[in-house]
Amino acid sequence: MTTNLEPQWILGFTDGEGCFNVSIVRQKSMAMGFQVLADYTVVQHERDIQILHALKDYFGVGQVGRNNDTRQHYRVRGLQPLTEAIIPFFEKHQLKTKKRIDFIKFRRIQLMVQRGQHLTPQGLLLIDKIRQKINRGPKTYLKLEEDGTVEMYDHATNEIHVARKRK
């Protein structure tokens, strides 16, 4: 079955079923000890997987994969695919719900990463502050100590992860 998607349909579908995510994960190999990961994701029951493949065909980027036992996802990750395909689409065709505000914050973070602002303590903390206002908010947050150490607090596990910028 071939599914031809129209921009307005994609907007409505994303408003209802899509999500713009930004995560900050501990990554010792990164300059700040943390990595900023962003993605655009749509999840559907496996019976509707053809819609996810149609989205992938439309945008020309991303992956379709299993989310859990009965659900599949279409996910776009990475600075280049997001800034060259996903962000321009949603700039040109504006979302109609609160998800538009999430997209604006998501786009701002991607632009900050593109400019390398995630490689400074202040930039990383600003990204964290913005991402806390996307969707329902994260389960972690960052804090900058006076000595330049960046700490990540995880609400779910009550763990604190510490990283310091490499010299």
Confidence tier at 166 by pLDDT (50, 70, 90): very low
In this predicted structure, the answer to whether residue 85 has a pLDDT above a threshold of 60 is yes
Coil vs helix vs strand at 100: helix
Tell me, what CATH number does 30's domain have?
A: 3.10.28.10
Sheet arrangement for strand 18-26: 18-26, 34-45, 71-77, 63-66
Q: Is residue 146 part of a domain?
A: no
Q: 9-12 contacts: CB < 8 A, separation 24 or more? A: 10/55, 10/58, 10/89, 10/93, 11/93, 11/94, 11/95, 11/96, 12/96
For tokens 């060259």, the residue is 84
20-49 pLDDT, tens digit per residue, is 999 998 888 888 888 999 999 999 999 999
Mean pLDDT of 63-78: 94
Confidence at 89, pLDDT banded by 50, 70, 90: very high
Residue 131 located in a structural domain: no
| Domain-embedded: residue 138 | no
pLDDT tens figures, 93-146: 999 998 999 999 999 999 999 999 999 989 999 999 999 888 876 566 677 777
- Nearest to residue 140, comparing CAs of 153, 127, 125? 153
Q: Does any domain span residue 134?
A: no
Strands (E), the chain: 18-26, 34-45, 63-66, 71-77, 140-144, 149-154, 159-164
- Sequence length of the chain is 167
Tell whether 64 is covered by a domain: yes
- The number of domains in the chain is 1
Domain presence at residue 142: no
Of 8-22, 51-65, 70-84, 129-143, the range with the lowest mean pLDDT is: 129-143
Note whether residue 75 is domain-resident. Answer: yes
**Owning domain of residue 114:** 7-118
Residue 126 is assigned to a structural domain of this protein: no
Please count the other Cβ atoms lying within 10 Å of the Cβ belonging to residue 96.
11
